[in-house]
Amino acid sequence: MEGTLTVPRRGSSTERRRGKLLVAVRGLSGHSYPAGTIVSLTGRGAAVDAWVGGEWVPLQWWEFAEASPHLG
């Protein structure tokens, strides 16, 4: 249906959630983000997409932990 807004279901792979880096990772720009950096996550499974300040940072399951939505 044209013009219909699709809202992701809670728990879906497109839902954004907060996370915290457990190790230092390098973004595609070459910038290094230290452990403890708060990231925005999408996806589920062994690899997820993360964003830090607008930069995409692909993560493996062992590089992050899900964080409380109240972290800032």
What is the mean pLDDT of the segment spanning 1-29? 73
Name all contacts of 10-18 with Cβ < 8 Å and 24+ positions apart: 13/42, 13/43, 13/44, 14/42, 15/42, 16/40, 16/41, 16/42, 17/41, 17/42, 17/66, 17/69, 18/66, 18/67, 18/68, 18/69, 18/71
Domains of the chain, earliest start first: 17-66 (2.30.30)
Residue 8 — very low, low, confident or very high, per pLDDT cuts 50/70/90? very low
Question: What pLDDT digit, counting tens, does each position of 46-63 carry?
Answer: 889 999 999 999 999 999
